[in-house]
Structure 1
Amino acid sequence: MSSPSPDYTLYLVTGRELLPPGKDYYESLNESLEGGVTIVQIREKNTDTREFLEIAKRSKEICHRYGVPLLINDRIDIALAMNADGIHIGQSDMPIEIARKLLPAGSIIGVSVNTPAEAEEVVKGGLADYVGIGALWATNSKKLTSPVLGIRGVGPILQTLEKTSIKAVAIGGIKSSNLLRSLHGAVSPNGRALDGIAVVSEIVSSHQPSVVAQRLCQIIRASKDQPFNLFSRIYAEPPTAQVLVDSAAHLLRSVKEYRPLVHQITNNVTINQLANATLALGASPIMATSPHEMEDLAKIPGALLINFGTISDKEGMLAAGHYANLERKPIVFDPVGIGATAYRRTTANELLNTWQAAVIKGNAGEIASLIGSNEVKSHGVDSLGSGFSSPKEILCALAKRERCIIVMTGETDYISDGNLTVKLSNGSALLGDITGSGCLAGSTVATFCGAENKRSKRSEPSSGEVEGILAAGDMFVGAIAGVLTLTIASELAAQRPEVHGTGTFLSALIDELYNLTPEKIIQRAKLEVV
C-alpha cells in the first residue's frame, strides 16, 4: 500500500498510555484519520511482541481504509510480520542499511535526527525517505535522549536536506497553540520548510481526536496559504529610497490618528524615558510586567516591546510574546547586552524559540552575539570597535534565520528584511551620550510598528481575522520610521540654543519628538538602499 510520495502533512505517533479514560484506542485512531491524519506510526515501547503484532495488524486495517500508510517504530520484526508500509528508526536502533535490505522494496524508512551532523549522515547514506527532527519543544510523551532543539535549531538541519529528496517532519511537544510558531520558525535560511509535523498527545489524549486533527490541518493549510514574507510589503519592483522615506514619514500621521497602545516590558533604567517618548509621538504607553495581564493586553491593538536589559520579568516576557503572536501584534525584541553573560544568551534563545519577533533591534555587538560572529566585540551593553565590514550580509543572514526585520543601531543605522537593506545616516552624537538611547530606538520602532499594525488591521476585510502569527502591516517601513524619527529628532534637539549638554539634550529630544512632522522627516532623512 506504500506510496512513492507519502503525505507527511499530519503525522500521528500513537501512544495508548495517553488515551483519556474510557476512550478505546481503535476508536481514537479511526477518528484521527477521519479528522485528516495523513500517516501513522505505531509506537509501543512497553508491549510484548504478541500484543504489539495484534495492535499493528488491526491498526493497519483501519489506516488502509483511509488510504493512509502505517509505519512501525523500531521493531522491524513486527513490520515484516504484518507487512507494514515502513518503519521509523532512532539513532540507537537498527542501522538503516540493514533495515533497507530486510524490508520489501518501496518500504518507507524514517530516521530520527537531532543535529545537522546526524542529518548529513542520513543524506550520505541515501537510504532514508524522511527524517524526524526533534524534539522541537519539551514533551512528556516520550523520554528524550537528545536535547530539545527549539524552533531555531531546525533550520541548520533543514539546510542539509536542501539538495535532496528527503522529506522532513518535526516532532516533539507540537500542539495547536504552538503549531504556527513551529511552521514559521522551522525553516532553513534558504527557505527549505518542513514537509509535515508529528503529533502525539494533542491528538491521542483528546476525547475528540477528529476535531483536534481537523484543527491542526486547518492551521497547516492557513500557513501554506499565507507565504511568510518576513513582515515586509511585497513590492512590484524594488522601492527607491524616496518611496521608503515617504512611506515612513506619513506613518507618523497614523501614530497620532490611531494612538496605538505600546506595551513595553523594559529595564527599569529607561522606563520613564520610553513612556515620555511614546506619549510625545502620540501613542499610548503601558509598562506592565505581570504574566497575568498579558492575555488581555495583547487584545488591545498596538505593539509589544520586549527589552530585557535587566531580565527581571522573564515569565511576563514569555507570556506577553505568546499572546501577542496569537493576536498578530508586532513584537519588537531588544536583546540588551546579550553578549555580556551566558544567562542573557540562554534567555534570548528561550524567548525567540517561544514566540516570533517582528523586529529585532540591537547594536553591532548585540547583533554579533545573536549571529555568532566574533567580528564585533561588546563591553556590557555597549558595542566596541567600528562595526561589521559587511553589515548588509550580516543583517540579511540574520533576518533570514530569524524570519523577521533586523535593525542595527550605531553611528550609522542599518535595517534589513533579508532581501532589502537600507542605510540610515541621521543622528546627533549627543544621542550616544545619554543613558538608554538604544532603548529609545526600540520604543520608537515599536510605536510605529504598532501604528502600522493597527492601520493594516482596520483595512482588512471584516469577515474575520486571518489565522497566523505574523503581525499585520509593513514592519520594514515601521522600523525605518521609528529609527528616522528618533535620529532626526536628535539632530533638531542638538541645534536648540538651550541645549548645553546631555541633561538639556534629553528634554529637548522629547520636545522634538512631540513637534516632529512628516515634512521634517522627508526634508531631513538620509536613507540609502544598499
Structure 2
Amino acid sequence: MKRKDIDYSLYLVTARHLLPPNKAFLESLEEAIVGGVTIVQLREKDVDSREFLEQAELCKTVCEKHGVSLIINDRVDVAVAIGADGVHLGQTDMKVAQARMMLPEGSIIGVSCNTVEHVRAAVLDDVDYIGIGSIWGTQTKKLTNPVIGVRGVGPMLEALDGTNIKAIAIGGVKSTNLLRTLYGAVSATNHKLDGIAVVSDIIASKEPLNAAKALKTILSGFQSRGITSMPTRSLTPEILLDGVSHLMEEIRKKVPLVHQITNTVVQTQSANVTLAIGASPIMATEPTEMEDLARFCGSVLINIGTMRADVVESMILAGRAANKFHKPIVLDPVGVGATSFRKNSVKVLLDEWQVGVIKGNAGELAALAGTSEVKSRGVDSVGLGFSDPVAFVRNLARRERCTVVLTGSTDYISDGVCVVGLKNGNEVLGKITGAGCILGSCIASFCAISAQLSESSEAGHLVQGDMFIAAITGVLVLTVAADIAMEKPEVCGPGTFLPGLIDVLWSLTPAQLRGAAKISVL
C-alpha cells in the first residue's frame, strides 16, 4: 500500500503540563502550527480515557483546520474513536500487527526505537516512521533507555537503507542543539533524518509561534544547503598546493586569534608556534569566558593531553559556542585509549558539538573508531599501524562528518571522500615533547583563517570554511619546516631543533613549501 505523503520535518509532541502560566493548550497548539509545525502527536500520560478523548477531539479540530496530521500516542482506541491519522507506539505498547488490524486502512503507525535491533524489527513490521531517541537528555519524560547521543543515530539510520520508512529524532531536541542534531545524525551511507520531534522548546514557550519559526528556519537553512552530502572534489597536488599557498599568505595578513584549551605541558611551545606561522594564540579555560571568546576567535583547539574533570565543562562550553558562531573546532584526542575517563570524556564532547577536524596518531584514532587493529600505550601507537590507512581515515571522516588527520611516517588526511598522503617530516619531531600538540595548533590556526575567508553564516551552516585544505596546510607547514630546520648547521638534535623549527616557521614561504612538499592524492 502506498504510504501517505507526510511532512515529518517539524514534529510536535504535546505535553500540557509544560505550558507556561496563562497559556491555553489549544492557543499554544495553533500558534505552533502557524509557526511551522508539520505534524502533531498528542501525548497524554496521566489522564483518564474521557479526558484523553476530549483533548483528542479538540486537537483534531485545530489540526484539520491547518491541514496538519494528528498522531495519538499509545492509545489505538482513542485514535480509532476520533479518526486520527495514526498512532505512535512504544516498545512496550501494543504490537504493530495488532494496531494495524484495529486502525482504518492507510493509518500512520510510528514506533519508538532506541537500538538497531528495534529499527530492524520496525522494518519487518513495515511501519511508516520511527522515532529515534533519546538523542539528548530530556526532562519531559522519564527515560527507560539510555541516551543514544547524536553519533549513535547513524547505525540506526543505516538499518533503514532500502526502505521507505521515515526517521525522526526525538528527546531533548531544541533550537540550540538542532544544527548539531541534523549535522551529526547521518549514517555512513548518507542516510539522514526526515524530521525532528520537539516538546519543551515549543510547548514551554510563551511565544510558540516564534519558537516554531526559529526551528523551521534552521531546518530550512540546513536543507537548502544540502549539507548532509559529503563534498565532491576533483583534486590534484597542484590544486591543493594553490589552496595551501593562499592560506599561508592570508594568515599573515589577517592574524586570526586561535583559542586553545590544550596540554599544559606544552602551552608555551604551542603559543610560540602559533605566533610563528602568523596567527595569535589565547589559552583560556575559565567556563564563563567561553562564549565571549567564541565571538571573536577564529577557531578553537581542544587538546585532551592533560585533561581534568573540571576542564571538561569548559571544553563543552567552548565547543557549543564555536558551533553557535560558526567557528571550526579542532579536536586532538591525546591518549584517548589510555583510560576510560578519556574515552568517556571524548564521547561526551563529540556528542555535544560538531568538530571540524580530528587529528590523532593510529592508536588514538583506532580507539576513537572502536577498532582493535592498532593498540596504544599512553599517547603512543604500538605496532605497524592500519593495514589500509586510506580506507580507515576515509571511513572515520565519513562517520564523524569532518576532516580526519592520521599522523605517522605518512600523514593521511581525508574529508570522507578524498584522501591525501603527505610524506614530509623529520623523525626528530617525534623526539620533542608535544610535537603532536603543536601540530594541532598549526591546524587550528589555518582552520581559523579558512573560516575567516568564508563569508557564509547561514542558519544551516555549522562548520565554516574548508577544513580539508586547512588541515593539509597545517600538516605541510609544520612537517616541511621540520625538514628544513634539520638541514641547518646549528641544529644538531632535539635540544636545538625546537628553536630552529620556530625560526623556520617564522620565515617559511609558499614557494619554499611548494618546492619541498611531498603530496599525493590517493
Q: TM-score range by the shorter chain?
A: over 0.9
1:63 paired residue number:
63
Counterpart of 2:153? 154
Aligned to 1:263, the other structure's residue is in SS state strand
3-state SS of 2:265 partner: coil
Structure 1 position 231, deviation (Å): 8.6
Distance in 2 (alpha carbons) for counterparts of 1:474 and 1:14: 40
Matched, 1:512 2:504: yes
- Check conservation: 2:223, 2:460, Cα contact below 8 A: no
User: What CA deviation, in whole Å up to 9, does each residue of 1:6-27 have, x standing for no partner?
Assistant: 1101100000000001111111
Alpha-carbon distance, 1:472 to partner: 2.4
Equivalent residue for 1:276?
Answer: 272
* Contact residue 230 and residue 404 of structure 1 kept, 8 A: no
CA contact (8 A) 1:11 1:39 kept: yes
**Correspondence list, 1:78-97, <5 A:** 78-97=78-97
- Describe how 1:418-437 pairs up with structure 2 within 5 A: 418-437=416-435
Worse overlay, 249-258 or 8-17? 249-258
Query: 1:471-515 CA distances to partner (integer Å, 9 max, x unpaired)?
Result: 322111100000000001111111111122211111111111111
> How far, CA to CA, are the matches of 2:417 and 2:208 in structure 1?
41
Which residue in the other structure is 1:299 paired with? 295
Partner amino acid, structure 1, of 2:103: L
Task: Tell me which residue corresponds to 1:401.
Answer: 399
Instruction: Report 1:250-289 matches (<5 A).
Output: 250-289=246-285
Report what 2:213 is aligned to: 214
In structure 2, do the counterparts of structure 1 residues 229 and 162 end up closer, same or farther at CA, with 3 Å as the change threshold? closer
- Name the SS of the counterpart of 1:275 in structure 2: helix
In the alignment, does 2:35 pair up with 1:21? no
CA distance in 1: counterparts of 2:348 and 2:341, whole angstroms: 10
Partner-residue secondary structure (3-state), 2:192: coil
Alignment partner, residue 441 of structure 1 = 439
Shift of 1:117: 1.0
Distance 2:279 2:52 in 1: 62
> What residue in structure 2 maps to residue 114 of structure 1?
114
Offset of residue 411 of structure 1: 1.2
Q: What is the aligned partner in structure 2 of residue 489 from structure 1?
A: 481
Q: In the alignment, which residue of structure 2 is the partner of 1:183? A: 182
Gaps in structure 1 of 5+ consecutive residues: none
Structure 2 CA distance for partners of 1:469 and 1:271, relative to 1, 3 Å = farther
How many angstroms does 1:40 deviate by? 0.5
- Letter aligned with residue 489 of structure 1: A
Instruction: Tell me, in whole angstroms, the C-alpha distance in 1 between the residues paired with 2:278 and 2:415.
Output: 27
Q: Secondary structure at the match of 1:299?
A: helix
How far, CA to CA, are the matches of 2:335 and 2:3 in structure 1?
52
- Of 349-358 and 468-477, the range deviating more from structure 2: 468-477
Partner of 1:478: 470
Please report how far the alpha carbon of residue 469 of structure 1 lies from its aligned counterpart in structure 2 after TM superposition.
4.3
> Is the contact made by 2:190 and 2:228 (CA closer than 8 Å) also made in structure 1?
no
TM-score w.r.t. the length of structure 2 is 0.98
Paired with 1:339 and 1:406, the residues of 2 have a C-alpha distance of 17
Q: Which of 371, 374, 388 is the matching residue for 1:373?
A: 371
In 2, Cα distance between the equivalents of 1:36 and 1:261? 39
Render the CA deviation track for 1:384-404: whole Å, top value 9, x for unaligned.
112111111111111111000
Q: Which residue of 1 aligns with 2:244?
A: 248
Instruction: State the Cα distance separating 1:229 from its structure 2 match.
Output: 6.7
For the aligned residues, what is the CA RMSD?
1.3
Say if 1:231 and 1:471, in contact at 8 Å, map to a contact too. no
Give the superposition deviation at 1:324.
Answer: 0.6
Flag structure 2 segments of 5+ consecutive residues without an equivalent.
none
Distance 1:296 1:257, change over 3 A: same
Q: Tell me which residue corresponds to 2:167.
A: 168
Deviation at 1:310, TM superposition (A): 1.5
Change in Cα spacing, 1:165 to 1:222, as seen in structure 2 (3 Å) is: same
Quote the sequence identity (%): 53
SS of residue in 2 equivalent to 1:278? helix
SS in 1 for 2:488: coil
Cα-to-partner distance string for 1:378-429 (whole Å, 9 max, x where unaligned): 0001111121111111111111110000001111100000100000000001
Equivalent residues of 1:326, 1:468 under 8 A apart: no
- What's the offset of the Cα at 1:251? 1.3
> TM-score scaled by structure 1?
0.96
Gap change, CA 1:329 and 1:231, over 3 Å in 2 = farther
Go from structure 1 to structure 2 and tell me whether the alpha carbon gap of 1:229 and 1:283 turns closer, same or farther (over 3 Å shift): farther
Give the equivalent residue in structure 2 for 1:500.
492
Q: 1:350 aligns with which of 348, 351, 355?
A: 348
Aligned to 1:72, what secondary structure does the other structure show?
strand
Secondary structure of 2:336 counterpart: coil
Is residue 171–residue 197 contact of structure 2 (8 Å, CA) maintained in 1?
A: yes
- In the alignment, the residues of structure 1 paired with residue 354 and residue 448 of structure 2 have an alpha-carbon distance, to the nearest angstrom, of 16
Deviations 1:129-181 (A, max 9, x none): 00000000000001111100100000000000011000001000000010011
Read off the aligned partner of 2:509 and give its amino acid letter.
T
| Aligned position for 2:514 | 522
Query: Do the aligned residues in 1 keep the contact of 2:358 with 2:402 (CA within 8 Å)?
Result: yes
CA displacement, residues 432-468 of structure 1 (integer Å, 9 cap, x when unaligned): 11111111111101111111111223xx5xxxx3224
3-state SS in 1 of match to 2:342: helix
Residue type of the partner of 1:282?
Answer: G
Alignment partner, residue 4 of structure 2: 4
User: Which residue of structure 1 aligns with residue 31 of structure 2?
Assistant: 31
Q: Distance in 1 between matches of 2:258 and 2:82?
A: 60
Residue in 2 aligned with 1:54? 54
Instruction: Provide the C-alpha distance between the structure 1 equivalents of 2:451 and 2:266, rounded to a whole number of angstroms.
Output: 25
Contact 1:133 1:154 in 2 (8 A): yes
Classify the secondary structure of the residue corresponding to 2:119: helix
Tell me the CA shift for residue 76 of structure 1.
1.1
1:42 corresponds to which residue?
Answer: 42
Give 1:301 deviation, angstroms.
4.3
Determine the C-alpha separation between the residues in 1 that align with 2:248 and 2:384. 32
